[in-house]
């Protein structure tokens, strides 16, 4: 799992069966100092509560679909939690 | 599995139900010599690992769900061990493992 910032939403009316009703968000993966790293992704929102600007963590691969109500959906990245705080060890550089 | 070092925790109250009551550790990935290998993972703790410890990280969903006995959980990354020592090169005799890092005696 990795940290990401939600930066937008995706609206798609024509979707493959199974994706209906799933909220799709654009996320920017972050390194642990919360700086953008790597390309942006579209992730399904498994908690139905994430919105633009929020710091979240997401899971990739098969486990992303496991996070959805129906685990047999074509989803490869899913937001599984909203981050309240990242607490680093004392002396640890962010 | 990967080697990592626990550098912090991630606190979250709104999460998928499978993450309720689980500790999320922020782990830097390490090379075998203990240097940062670049990158990090957020892993669910299963062994009670603490800050600063070198740990063994499992990053595969099927095994993770098996370890947690949680068949439907969207969890793929776990801390599954606390590393006492990493020895590069030929396996040394048990006595050659530095005593300050060898907490457990290997079985004969």
Question: Along the 108 residues of chain B, how does pLDDT read in single tens digits?
Answer: 999 999 999 999 999 999 999 999 999 999 988 899 999 999 999 999 988 999 999 999 999 999 999 998 999 999 999 999 888 777 666 655 565 555 555 554
Q: Do A57 and B24 touch (CB under 8 A)?
A: yes
Question: Where do the structural domains in chain A lie, given as residue ranges?
Answer: 2-12+20-82
- Its pTM stands at 0.83
Q: Do B11 and A86 touch (CB under 8 A)?
A: yes
| Domains of chain B, earliest start first | 2-96 (2.40.50.220)
**A55-74: pLDDT as tens digits:** 999 999 999 999 999 999 99
CA neighbor of B76 nearest in space, from B86, B89, B62, B90? B62
Q: Do the bridges between strand B36-45 and strand B77-82 make them parallel or antiparallel, or are there none, so unpaired?
A: parallel
CATH of region A2-12+20-82:
2.40.50.220
Most A CBs within 10 Å: which of B37, B74, B75, B76, as the mutation test of the A interface?
Answer: B74
Check CB contact of A87 with chain B, cutoff 8 Å: yes
Cβ atoms of B49 and B65 within 8 Å: the answer is no
CA neighbor of B73 nearest in space, from B60, B81, B64, B85? B64
Which residue from B minimizes the CA distance to A88? B8
CA neighbor of A52 nearest in space, from A40, A67, A61, A62? A40
Distant-in-sequence, close-in-space partners of A72: CB < 8 Å, separation ≥ 6 = A18, A65
């Amino acid at each position: 799992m990795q940290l990401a910032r939600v930066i937008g939403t995706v609206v798609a009316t024509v979707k493959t069966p199974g994706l209906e009703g799933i909220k799709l968000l654009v996320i920017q993966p972050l390194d642990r100092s919360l700086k953008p790293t790597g390309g942006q992704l579209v992730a399904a929102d498994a908690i139905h509560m994430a919105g633009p600007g929020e710091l979240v963590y997401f899971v990739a691969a098969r486990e992303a679909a496991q996070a959805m109500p129906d685990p047999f959906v074509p989803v490869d990245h899913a937001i599984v939690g909203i981050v309240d705080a990242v607490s680093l060890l004392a002396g640890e550089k962010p | 599995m990967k080697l990592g070092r626990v550098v912090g925790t991630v606190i979250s109250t709104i999460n998928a139900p499978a993450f309720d009551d689980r500790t999320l550790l922020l782990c830097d990935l390490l090379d075998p010599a203990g240097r940062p290998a670049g990158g990090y993972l957020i892993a669910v703790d299963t062994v009670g690992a603490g800050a600063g410890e070198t740990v063994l990280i499992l990053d595969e969903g099927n095994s993770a769900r098996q370890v947690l006995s949680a068949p439907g959980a969207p969890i793929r990354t776990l801390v599954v061990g606390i590393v006492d020592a990493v020895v590069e090169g030929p396996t040394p005799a048990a006595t050659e493992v530095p005593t300050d890092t060898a907490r457990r005696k290997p079985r004969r």
